[in-house]
C-alpha cells in the first residue's frame, strides 16, 4: 500500500516537472519563430538589428512598402543586402512552393580575413570612371576650338562675311566650353 502511494506521489511530483520541461521547450521553440508568420522560421534570415524572419515573409513585407523599408519589430532600416541567412545543420532541401515566387534569400556575405591593405580607391571605381569621361569632354571641345583657326583647307579668306561668321562662332563655342568647365568645377 505504502509503495503504491509512494509511486503515485512520485508520479504526481514528476508530472509538473514534465510540464515545466514542456514550457521550456515551447519557449525555446518560440525563440526561433518568425516575427511575421509566428511559425518556426523557414529559410531563416536575421536582420542587422537581430530580428528573425522567414525570408519569404520578410521579402513580402519589403515588397508591400518599397518606399519605407523598416524592420517590422524595431523599425530600424532594413534591406535585402542587410540580412544574414541562417544555415542550421539540418539543412535539408525541402522545396517550398512559395520559394518559387520570391527570389532566393540572399547569400551569406563571407569576408576574407586580413588582406586589409587593398587599394582603397577601388570602392568607387565606377563613379570615378564616369566623372572622368564627362570631364574629358570640354577639353575635347577646347582642342577642336583652338585648332579651328589653323591652316584648314576650307578656311575663309580674311575680310569676308564668312570669316566674320566663323570667328563669331568659334568665340561662342569657346565661351560655351569655358562656362561648361566652370560649371563642372563649381557645381
Partner 1 sequence: MKDNHAVSKRLQKELMELMRCADKGISAFPESENLFKWIGTINGPQDTVYAGHKYKLSLEFPNSYPYAPPVVKFLTPCFHPNVDTCGLICLDILKDKWTALYDVRTVLLSIQSLLGEPNTQSPLNQQASYLWPNQAAYKKYLDEFYNKHKDS
Q: Which residues bind partner 1 (CB under 8 A)?
A: 35-39, 57, 60-61, 64, 70, 72-73, 75, 97-98
CB nearer to partner 1: give 11 or 38.
38
CB nearer to partner 1: give 36 or 177.
36
Minimal distance in Å, beta carbon 37 to partner 1? Answer: 5
Q: Determine contact, residues 59/106, Cβ cutoff 8 Å.
A: no
Minimal distance in Å, beta carbon 104 to partner 1? Answer: 18
Minimal distance in Å, beta carbon 57 to partner 1? Answer: 8
The phi and psi torsions of 54 (rounded to 5 degrees) equal: -75, 145
The helix (H) or strand (E) run that includes residue 45 is strand 44-47
Return d(Cα 145, Cα 181) in angstroms, integer. 14
CB nearer to partner 1: give 99 or 170.
99
Looking up cell 564668312 gives 162
68-99: b (≥16 Cβ within 10 Å) or e:
eebbeeeeeebeeebbbebeeeeeeeeeeeee
CB nearer to partner 1: give 19 or 39.
39
CB nearer to partner 1: give 75 or 152.
75
Minimal distance in Å, beta carbon 60 to partner 1? Answer: 6
Minimal distance in Å, beta carbon 119 to partner 1? Answer: 42
| CA-to-CA dists, residue 31 to 9, 115, 137, 177, angstroms | 34, 37, 59, 65
Amino acid at each position: 500500500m505504502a509503495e503504491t502511494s509512494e509511486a503515485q506521489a512520485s508520479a504526481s511530483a514528476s508530472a509538473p516537472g514534465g510540464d515545466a520541461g514542456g514550457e521550456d521547450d515551447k519557449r525555446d521553440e518560440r525563440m526561433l519563430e518568425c516575427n511575421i508568420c509566428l511559425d518556426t522560421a523557414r529559410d531563416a534570415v536575421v536582420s542587422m538589428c537581430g530580428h528573425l524572419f522567414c525570408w519569404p515573409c520578410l521579402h513580402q513585407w519589403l515588397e508591400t512598402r518599397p518606399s519605407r523599408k523598416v524592420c517590422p519589430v524595431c523599425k530600424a532600416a532594413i534591406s535585402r543586402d542587410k540580412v544574414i541567412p541562417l544555415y542550421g545543420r539540418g539543412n535539408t532541401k525541402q522545396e517550398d512552393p512559395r520559394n518559387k515566387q520570391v527570389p532566393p534569400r540572399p547569400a551569406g556575405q563571407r569576408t576574407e580575413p586580413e588582406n586589409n591593405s587593398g587599394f582603397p580607391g577601388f570602392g568607387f571605381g565606377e563613379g570615378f570612371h564616369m566623372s572622368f569621361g564627362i570631364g574629358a569632354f570640354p577639353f575635347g571641345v577646347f582642342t577642336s576650338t583652338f585648332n579651328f583657326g589653323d591652316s584648314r583647307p576650307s578656311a575663309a579668306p580674311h575680310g569676308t562675311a564668312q570669316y566674320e561668321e566663323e570667328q563669331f562662332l568659334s568665340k561662342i563655342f569657346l565661351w560655351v566650353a569655358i562656362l561648361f568647365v566652370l560649371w563642372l568645377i563649381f557645381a
